[in-house]
Chain A
Amino acid sequence: MIRESKLEIEHAVYRQVVDAGDYWMHVVKQGQTLRILDLEGNQAADTLFYSADDPTERYSAIDTIREQGNVYLTAGSQLLSNEGRVMLEITADTCGRHDTLGGACATESNTVRYALEKKCMHACRDSWMLAVAEHPEFAMSKRDITHNINFFMNVPITPEGGLTFADGISDAGKYVELQAKMDVIALVSNCPQLNNPCNAYNPTPVEVIVWND
């Protein structure tokens, strides 16, 4: 569902461009709104959320889709934790549909999906490994890296039980906005994948923007 934002960029309290292949780890406070902006189009932002008070409480893809009864995320979707609590709500979305079943790329899964020789190509999970290693203050490890959201990624599920990776439906300037319902740690990997159409074989920067309540 397309829903445009009423927030104005000059009122933002935080702006940061995240290059493809980099991670962004940041606390978003309850009431704040986080926008992820696809600057050049067809980019995938692989995203995880954790309760800032207790990072063992975290975004749960399967609980979120089951409780809303639909496999896609869009405006109005409430992102649930593994404790069944609402962590964030998608309050604006000019892309229309986001995936949360396709997971993230990892060097190991790249060997399966593309070729054994591609094992050293950069992947989202490597960015997350670096993030947890560089942020000991959150006391997180590989145990905490779970099933993520792929903002801007198009993964259609068919009634017959198929799952495909289609060309992105995002475009330059499209965005998704989430209002935090609790203090959350946002962990974004701006996807470096060069082997599939999720980012048009050309990973590009995204911008993250935060507004106060």
Chain B
Amino acid sequence: MHSLPGAIIMAEIYPDNELMYEDELPGGAHWSMLMRRGTILRLVDIDGGANVGMLFYNPGEKLERYNAPDTLKCQHTFKLTRGHCLYSDMGRIFCSIVDDSVGWHDTVGGNLTDAAMEKRWGRKNYQRFRNDRTLSGEHSFKVELAKHGLGKRDMAANVNWFSRVHTDEDGNMLFDADNSKAGDHVDLRFEMDTLVIFHTCPHPLNTETNYPRRPIRYQIRKAAAVQDDDECMNSRPENKRGFQNTNLYYLQGGQ
């Protein structure tokens, strides 16, 4: 029973909601990490106007991955905010949005390509600019996915935390340049062990004059146990079934 991985042991000795780890990621950078079931990842927009591109995979079965269309249609939403759950293609929940000071996060705008970045802001290469080079979301996902044996066939529609893309009556897509403020945060409570791939490169619809380089802080806390009256689980009847599917996975020995 106690031959558990270190992260879980760490979670066991910490009280609920106490900060276990934090770090920062500069703007225009990328990283990946494992999040354990029962922990909360808080993303903080340090300066305002950040964008965090993010993808999710089941580390035990990487064919199981974040599915934006399933996430949107089962909750009848175009945006992501507090109360929503992020679904895999297998009808299970990677994480729930348990807190959000922003109100709207995008998951249909996609990822900044190398070509679009070069056209809009030019390319600052490593030879001359060292780690102040400009990176695209495409470059970032390629590198982080490859670390885990994944490639372009595994790429899906990503989340863009802190960014807002809305539509008019005719379906035209509009980017809100003033969505997230300095200090804004969003909290993701993980319901499954999850491989998290992320970057802080600009949103593909951002048209700022200079390449936006906005850092984020990310923090890991232990989550309180999910109660029967949990806001995310009860925000829609679909989510209750999503939680049942997720619990069944672990009942059946899901790794």
Contact = CB atoms under 8 A, between A and B. Distances in A.
A54 to B, nearest CB: 10
Interface in B119-169: 151-157, 166-169
A19 B72 CA distance: 28
A146 B111 CA distance: 15
- Interface size class, chain A: 35 or more
Contacts of B110: 60, 62-63, 66
A108 B89 contact: yes
A112 B241 contact: yes
Contact of A161 (B79, B171, B173): B79
A84 B113 contact: yes
Interface in B65-108: 67-70, 72-74, 76-79, 87, 89-92, 104, 108
A101 interface: yes
A113 interface: yes
A71 B167 CA distance: 8
Contact of A144 (B87, B108, B153): B153
Interface in A128-157: 142-144, 146-147, 155, 157
Given A143-B153, A161-B104, A112 B74 contact: yes
Interface string A97-114: 000011110101111110
Interface string B49-73: 0000000000000010001111011
A108 B153 CA distance: 21
Nearest to A113: B74
Interface stretch (A26-34, A35-43, A87-95, A162-170): A162-170
Contacts of A157: 78, 167, 171
A70 B73 contact: no
A111 B244 CA distance: 10
Contacts of B168: 159
A116 interface: yes
Interface in A164-205: 164-165
